[in-house]
Amino acid sequence: MDGLRAKMSSLTPFTKKHKVTVIGSGNWGSTIAKLVAENTAEHPELFERDVQMWVYEEEVQLDKKSKHYDESSELSKGPQNLTKLINTFHENVKYLPGIALPYNVIANPSLTDAVKNSSVLIFNLPHQFILNLCKQLRGHILPFARGISCIKGVNVHEASISLFSETIGEELGIYCGALSGANIANEVAQEKFSETTIAYDPPPMDSQAPTPATSQGSSPVSSHVDLTKLVHKDVSGRPSKVTLRPLPSEYYPFDHVTIKKLFHRKYFHVRVVSDVAGVSLGGALKNIVAVAAGWVDGLGWGDNAKAAVMRVGLLEMREFGNRFFPNTVHPDTFTVESAGVADLITTCSGGRNHKCAMLSIREGKSIEEIEARELNGQKLQGALTAVEVHTFLKSLGMEKDFPLFTAVYNILKGNEKAEKLPDLIDNNEATDTSASKPTQSSSLPIPPQSTSSTNPEQQTVAGTQPHCPTTSPLGDNERQSNTTTSRSPLEPAPPLASSRYNRQLLLPQLRLRGQERLLNSKVLIIGLGGLGSPASLYLAGAGVGTLGLMDGDTVELGNLHRQIAHTESAAREGLSKVRSAAARCKALNSEIRYVLHEERASADNILGAIAQYNVVLDCTDNPATRYLISDACVLLGKVLVSGAAQRGEGMLVVLNSPPSPLSADGGQGGQDKGPCYRCVFPRPPPPEMVRGCSEIGILGPVVGLIGTMMAGEAIKIIAAGGHLPPSPTTTPEAEAEAEAERLNNGSSLSSPASSQTDQMRKPAQKQHQHTMLLYNTYAADPRGMFRTIGLRGRRKDCLACGDDDALAQKGLSRITADTISQGRLDYQAFCGVFEDVNLLDDERRVGAKEFLETLTTPSENPTENDLEREEQKRIVIDVREEHEYELGTKVAGSINMPISRILRLGGGAFDELGLGADAERRGPMGNESHVRTTPPKAINGHDDGPGRVDSSHSGMNTPLLANGLDGHRETQSHGPPPAVYFVCERGNDSQIAAQKLMDQLAGDSAASQRWGWVGDVKGGFVAIKKWSQSSSPSS
């Protein structure tokens, strides 16, 4: 290895040395600065000699017991800046007294100056300050800097877990590893022997020289590799949210060898691994176990009892990592490395968590009381982590799978007594995924395999069905019978055959293989309204292994007619749709894993969310989000099932199928590659045509039907293996199996399973036609309720999934992950924003307040004739559609003339009002409508003939109906002509209608003299209702 590195160095000389900065100067930060500075001095070929140590500036009084105290010295007279004392005495007199720091440790009170031009940043500060510190660092560090976090623990939220190292990386746009181990700062500073573990998974774009094997695989060293296009993966095994800048080739590679040279000392042994999640989890979860160990010692149960608690705790730590970070956590991290078992032993033998728990038992006081007395205002990490972990596990329904962690929580909260700890552990002891007994992170047969296996079906999926009692479909009995001399002639039925999924297993298109794929699949539903509700329930019932639920809205009572996953109680409580749907799904199937994303899909979160899943269901209701989701699925190679429904119509289509992420050669390849959303809809609909269900309505069964069919498509795709990327090589045996499966499974809207086999057997044959399904519940002919239309397939010039060559010919470039995550593509602007109409001048518009005052200004001591004359001074024409007018708030005496009729007939729509000079005198087609006193009337769009009145309203007797509008004008011949107010919902359609009337009057001078002011009400009924509620006018 060293020889190869030397050879590489001779070919590409390293002209820059790494500058190191330690951020934080507590006892552990100062200790790290000490040993790092010793190593930078010993390796001048790799590092700059001086190590910057950022110090949070504070004034410190030099202790009289300090060897540096001198009454005659100015530094001993009163408080002094800590940085000045450190740089003068080369000792951190406050946080690490008595320990000499190397002369090349430079204390610096300026954070931005300390990190200037540093390529290596070592973070060592209280975790509560991370976010604020990162904000200060943005724009002041090298964009390609690399970090090591020495902050023990993890951020555990109710629905997610994040590592401090990844928080730092995401906030600063850099890669950051983690350091943890059995390290007591004072002992390390005193150069007493200890060891630690550093987790660092070198980003592939940094590979200037070979490094030890990592979870990312071998590092490319070819000079022909475009390092800027390499994608680093996070601790969950998915593409990182951060677009990393490659470490320039002028620097010595910051790999495992370099890291060891930076940290390793004779008294401080370092092991470098790639398991960042495992190292970080070990440093956090061991504190929970230490609390339990403290109770054991407080009760005087002895070392045997404490060893038992530590054993169970170690298993739960290991299981926690395997379950929630299955793609990157290595079990050996907990049992072999210092960050695991060694740190656990140290913490359970001493330290603040163990001490406080022990004293709470011996003194009969609560943990909080001991904490307040012993920790000088600091919080006990074991107690905090226990609460956070329990909240997280409970949200997933998994608290029983971690009995020790749950027991510690219940004892801390007073729900149980510490004396019952053995019983609490024994009731439901944790399992180990590495053993033969399966758990939730391994519910289906996972044959022995090498870590280089690329078959997605052979990889463990976290959180799938936990109660399958065997490790093979044929059961333990058959495995055991193979090893005996007398074998039963009967083979037991597979466990799944008698499971809750038995009825769907009977389908030849599903069978055992299909159910196993379902149990190992991960499906994300974005949008939990009318489409997402039935889809989530049916997918939960079908047994998908992990069901992700994403939405940022809360449950509303007015939506329950179609959003059947939610309840009235959820609406009353204002529960989020995600939590409401998760509760209903868990009540249906508690044996699968649920992941909650309580946020709207956005450019900031979409890539990270979708990367965790195999199949995505787009159940959203606006074009901008649909394009965003589709683009992300294309980039990440995920199958997308998209549906939509409005009024009585619905649509369903499967996109990006079969899945294949963008290739390095600038395309997705394969003529049978299915289209994406942009291929089908290259241009979004005009924004004025996009109207929500709250405006145009929706029939509940329609959206329910589409959502149910979306779940059906997802199940078909997964059962047939259509969610898996095509294999680059296919053996004859696999080909035969795929052909047999195709014959059994039938086809879906995308036929992903069959297309691979057909393409191999008959390359020249035309591939399956991709289709879109349309539904109309009000189709004139029931045979036309369902229609299927063919789609053209992938467009080579598509901005999302097209080929680079085809796009380059048009001067276009393809959408990338950076395009999305960095906000370079404004999806709202692309889809357009519906802007308010601005047709009328200000003098032709009145505000809602002025309009209401006009309606509610009576004469003094009015008579019946006065009231009639007041009403006749104005005419209010409501241009909302008939059904909207019927259901909405109305102005008493208004006339309903739908905007659709006005747009269709133009100025002729007003002929019914008798506009012409020689117009025939007749009443309007419909009657006026009075709020709360009379049924609604409308001039509708039917061919009823002029002047026809709905017989159901013929009994009404109003001035306008009795005399007609011409008669109305005649009664006003001695007064000013009436004003005409047009009104709609928001003040847009009313302007169009008013302009149409003015255009009509402009061509007929005689008619124009018989009408007064014509205009509209700004803001429509939205503004009217607002002012009405604020002023409570009488009507």
* Nearest to 196, CA basis, from 101, 275, 264, 148: 264
Q: Which long-range contacts (CB under 8 A, 24 or more apart) does 34-37 make?
A: 34/99, 34/101, 34/102, 34/105, 34/189, 35/188, 35/263, 35/265, 35/268, 36/122, 36/262, 36/263, 37/101, 37/102, 37/104, 37/105
Q: What is the mean pLDDT of the chain?
A: 76
59-60 and 80-81 beta bridge pairing: antiparallel
Instruction: Render 377-422 in DSSP notation, one character per residue.
Output: T---HHHHHHHHHHHHHHHHT-GGG-HHHHHHHHHHTTSS-GGGHH
Three-state DSSP class for 771?
Answer: strand
pLDDT for position 465: 36
* Nearest to 616, CA basis, from 666, 544, 673: 544
Average pLDDT over residues 799-817: 81
Residue 21 in this model has a pLDDT that exceeds 90: yes
Task: Let me know: does 118 contact 147? Beta carbons within 8 Å.
Answer: no
**Which residues are within 8 A (CB) of 29 and not within 5 positions of it... i.e. 6 or more apart?**
22, 23, 53, 95, 124, 125, 150
pLDDT for position 758: 39
Q: Say how far apart CA 1000 and CA 891 lie, in whole Å.
A: 25
639-646 and 649-655 beta bridge pairing: antiparallel
Q: Say how far apart CA 594 and CA 970 lie, in whole Å.
A: 72
DSSP conformational letter for 1024 = H
Mind listing the pLDDT tens digit for each residue in 761-770?
Answer: 344 344 557 8
pLDDT for position 999: 85
Q: Say how far apart CA 209 and CA 222 lie, in whole Å.
A: 10
Among the ranges given (114-123, 482-491, 492-501, 652-661), the one the predictor scored with the smallest mean pLDDT = 482-491
pLDDT band at 805 (very low <50, low <70, confident <90, very high): confident
Mind listing the pLDDT tens digit for each residue in 866-897?
Answer: 554 455 578 899 998 887 888 888 888 888 99
Residue 921 in this model has a pLDDT that exceeds 80: no
Please count the residues of the chain.
1035
H or E element at residue 528:
none
3-class DSSP string for 630-697: HHHHHHHCCEEEEEEEEECEEEEEEECCCCCCCCCCCCCCCCCCCCCHHHHCCCCCCHHHCCCHHHHC
**Residues paired with residue 789 on neighbouring β-strands, in sequence order:** 772
Among the ranges given (282-286, 567-571, 870-874), the one the predictor scored with the smallest mean pLDDT = 870-874
pLDDT for position 862: 53
* Nearest to 90, CA basis, from 171, 131, 34, 50: 34
HSE, CB side, 13 Å, CA atoms: give it for residue 226.
5
pLDDT for position 1008: 64
Whose tokens are 């463990």? That residue is 460
Residue 585 in this model has a pLDDT that exceeds 50: yes
pLDDT for position 92: 93
Mind listing the pLDDT tens digit for each residue in 526-562?
Answer: 999 989 999 999 999 999 999 999 999 999 888 888 8
**Which residues are within 8 A (CB) of 529 and not within 5 positions of it... i.e. 6 or more apart?**
551, 553, 559, 562, 563, 577, 619, 621, 703
pLDDT for position 855: 78
Q: Say how far apart CA 607 and CA 236 lie, in whole Å.
A: 13
pLDDT band at 240 (very low <50, low <70, confident <90, very high): low
Among the ranges given (417-421, 499-503, 640-644, 1030-1034), the one the predictor scored with the smallest mean pLDDT = 1030-1034
pLDDT for position 629: 92
Three-state DSSP class for 18?
Answer: strand
Helical axes 164-172 vs 130-137, angle rounded to 10°: 20
Average pLDDT over residues 410-427: 88
Q: Say how far apart CA 643 and CA 659 lie, in whole Å.
A: 18
Q: Say how far apart CA 45 and CA 80 lie, in whole Å.
A: 37
Mind listing the pLDDT tens digit for each residue in 649-698?
Answer: 898 999 888 876 555 444 555 556 788 888 888 877 665 555 555 556 67
pLDDT for position 538: 95
> Residue 1004 corresponds to which tokens in the numbers above?
């007929």
pLDDT for position 330: 86
Higher pLDDT, 1008 or 333: 333
Burial of 686 (0-12, 13-18, 19+ CB in 10 A): exposed
**Residues paired with residue 524 on neighbouring β-strands, in sequence order:** 548, 616
> Residue 1033 corresponds to which tokens in the numbers above?
């006018």
Residue 361 in this model has a pLDDT that exceeds 80: yes
Task: Let me know: does 549 contact 584? Beta carbons within 8 Å.
Answer: no
Task: Let me know: does 618 contact 526? Beta carbons within 8 Å.
Answer: yes
Instruction: Render 199-257 in DSSP notation, one character per residue.
Output: E----GGG-SS-----TT-SPP--TTS-GGG---B-TTSSB-SS-PPPPPTTBPP-SHH
pLDDT band at 618 (very low <50, low <70, confident <90, very high): very high
Based on its alpha-carbon atoms, the radius of gyration of the chain, rounded to whole angstroms, reads 36
Q: Is the peptide bond between 658 and the residue preceding it cis, with omega within 30 degrees of 0?
A: yes
pLDDT for position 499: 79
Average pLDDT over residues 366-384: 80
State how far Cα 157 lies from the chain centre: 14
C-alpha angle 509-512-513 in degrees, rounded to nearest 5:
75
Q: Say how far apart CA 559 and CA 571 lie, in whole Å.
A: 9
pLDDT for position 301: 93
Among the ranges given (268-277, 439-448, 712-721, 784-793), the one the predictor scored with the smallest mean pLDDT = 439-448
Q: Say how far apart CA 503 and CA 517 lie, in whole Å.
A: 16
Higher pLDDT, 112 or 833: 112
> Residue 375 corresponds to which tokens in the numbers above?
């920790």
Helical axes 848-855 vs 1020-1031, angle rounded to 10°: 60
Dihedral sign (CA 668, 674, 676, 682): positive
pLDDT for position 878: 93
Average pLDDT over residues 411-416: 90
| Interior/surface letters 326-347, b for 16+ CB within 10 angstroms, e for the rest | bbbbbbebbeebbbbbbbbbbb
Distance set, CA 708 to CA 270, 532, 643, 654 (Å) = 55, 9, 10, 14
> Residue 820 corresponds to which tokens in the numbers above?
């999305």
Burial of 292 (0-12, 13-18, 19+ CB in 10 A): buried
Mind listing the pLDDT tens digit for each residue in 339-354?
Answer: 889 999 999 988 889 9
Among the ranges given (79-88, 238-247, 315-324, 438-447), the one the predictor scored with the smallest mean pLDDT = 438-447
Task: Let me know: does 776 contact 788? Beta carbons within 8 Å.
Answer: no
pLDDT band at 445 (very low <50, low <70, confident <90, very high): very low
* Nearest to 202, CA basis, from 191, 181, 217: 217
Average pLDDT over residues 690-708: 76
Percent of the chain with pLDDT over 90: 30
DSSP conformational letter for 622 = S
> Residue 582 corresponds to which tokens in the numbers above?
């998760």
Three-state DSSP class for 25?
Answer: coil
pLDDT band at 953 (very low <50, low <70, confident <90, very high): very low
pLDDT for position 82: 94
pLDDT for position 454: 34
* Nearest to 48, CA basis, from 16, 78, 11: 16
Q: Say how far apart CA 868 and CA 850 lie, in whole Å.
A: 21
Dihedral sign (CA 327, 332, 333, 335): positive
Burial of 204 (0-12, 13-18, 19+ CB in 10 A): buried
Task: Let me know: does 366 contact 404? Beta carbons within 8 Å.
Answer: no
Higher pLDDT, 125 or 440: 125
CB atoms < 10 A from the CB of 1027, how many?
A: 18
Q: Say how far apart CA 771 and CA 750 lie, in whole Å.
A: 7
Q: Say how far apart CA 596 and CA 205 lie, in whole Å.
A: 32
Task: Let me know: does 997 contact 1004? Beta carbons within 8 Å.
Answer: no
pLDDT for position 828: 67
Residue 1002 in this model has a pLDDT that exceeds 60: yes
pLDDT for position 45: 92
Average pLDDT over residues 131-140: 92
Mind listing the pLDDT tens digit for each residue in 713-725?
Answer: 999 999 988 877 6
> Residue 278 corresponds to which tokens in the numbers above?
């495992």
Average pLDDT over residues 732-756: 46
User: Residue 186: what residue type?
Assistant: N
Higher pLDDT, 141 or 669: 141
Residue 772 phi/psi, 5-degree rounding, is -125, 135
Average pLDDT over residues 410-432: 78
pLDDT for position 87: 94
120-123 and 18-23 beta bridge pairing: parallel
Residue 261 in this model has a pLDDT that exceeds 90: yes
pLDDT for position 294: 94
CB atoms < 10 A from the CB of 605, how many?
A: 16
Task: Let me know: does 995 contact 985? Beta carbons within 8 Å.
Answer: no
Domains of the chain: 2-274 (3.40.50.720), 282-427 (1.10.1040.10), 512-831 (3.40.50.720), 842-1031 (3.40.250.10)
Percent of the chain with pLDDT over 70: 71
pLDDT for position 238: 63
Q: Say how far apart CA 139 and CA 128 lie, in whole Å.
A: 21
Residue 244 phi/psi, 5-degree rounding, is -80, 145
Catalytic residues: 286
